[in-house]
Amino acid sequence: MRTLRENKINFYKNELNFRKIAQELYKDNATEHSIYICDLTKVQRQFELWQDCLPNIKPYYAVKTNNDALVVKTLAELGAGFDCASVEEMQMVLEAGVTGDRIIFAHPCKPLSHLQYAQQHQINISTVDTEFELFKLKQHFPNSDIVLRFRSDAKICGWPLGKKFGCEAQTDTAALILLARSLQLKIAGTSFHVGCECEDLEAFVRALSTARELYDVGKMLGYDMNFVDIGGGYHGGNNEFFKKIAKTISSSLDLYFGNEPIKCISEPGRYFVEAAFTLVCKITGKREMRNALGQLESIMYFINDGKYGSFIDTGRDFSNVMYFSENHLEQQKYKTTIWGPTCDSTDKIVDNLYLPRLHRGDLLAFPNMGAYTLCLASKFNGIPLPKVVYYQQQN
């Protein structure tokens, strides 16, 4: 991946020492923005694990998860496909050297200008879940390879998607296939998404069973619906659980499709990037709360990132936060609340955390911050967005 190392952004090679890198980045006291350390080697290793566990399913990275240009470039060079939902995402992927046949326009409801852009760049695979979208494609992109998305929800997941996307498999899909045939549109296959951070292994079994039923319906109606998109929903920081999901998916594909000549893809997002990004923040202020006897009971820390920045998802696990201090740390830990930098009184990141007594200028590092963080951050209250530096092992 030599082209990445030629980029004019700092790279740290061979020695991934968060303390050393973080302190070097913050040695200039004028540096007040938070900083991401991105380990591109982890992205590559996740890709290699995918190939080992699901060799017959091509991953199409969900760009919305983290649209960092070097992450996209890394996955492009590794051979991944891409799940895009807008002109900007498609443009970014194309600029990384990816051709249109490696992109799925996976948003089920597409603005016309975005659809026209896809057509101009030969991004033919397009996801649909309503009759209105079929009519839109008939008028504006009749040569699309249409993928029919049906609803199939996991019983346990972090973010269910079925209320918004996916037609009802038992009541809507046959009518949509018939409508497509009457409009002389091509139905190339089916797709589903069980929900983000799925913990229900059987969700994939149920969904693939439905996909096979629709495959057979398509055959009866004259379609060769051999494209199967199994969506995403995989954890980013739990590879052992991913291996269990992969085993379930593989056995279900064998059970329901056997030797059928299908092309199967998936749309992993956080799987690739969650564990690759660590956020380093500076303590800019503190408040110590004492009891009537003057004994220290709890501490508030104010840092340079918050819920309007990288911590928009405040339901994260912060038990593995790291702290770096130039001063000697007491062994005792105190009940701690961490606040973000804005003037909003609800800009709280976490409370009931226990940390030693830290000081202004000390650093806190938050692992597993690569998914749905920087891509959602705003500059509310004039707080600058985090910077990103990159680490990559040399081959």
Active site residues: 343
Q: What amino acid occupies position 382?
A: G
Q: Which two tokens stand for residue 312?
A: 């928009």
Strand partners, 147: 127, 189
**Token digits for 313?**
């998802």
- In total, the chain counts a number of residues equal to 395
Angle at 229 between CA 228 and CA 232, to 5 degrees: 150
108 and 127 Cβ atoms separated by less than 8 Å: yes
Question: For residue 262, which of 232, 234, 229, 231 has the smallest C-alpha distance?
Answer: 229
Which pair of structure tokens corresponds to residue 273?
Answer: 């990037």
Cα–Cα distances (Å) from 180 to 137, 172, 174, 186, 333, in that order, read 10, 12, 10, 7, 64
Residue 353's nearest CA partner among 310, 295, 304, 303 is 303
- 162 burial level (CB within 10 Å; 0-12, 13-18, 19+): middle
H runs (alpha helix) in 153-311:
173-182, 202-220, 239-257, 270-273
In the block, tokens 């659980």 appear at: 241
- The C-alpha torsion from 240 through 241 and 247 to 250, rounded to 10°, is -120
**CA distance linking residue 70 with residue 41, whole number of Å:** 12
124: helix, strand or coil: coil
**Alpha carbons 36 and 277: distance in angstroms, whole number:** 6
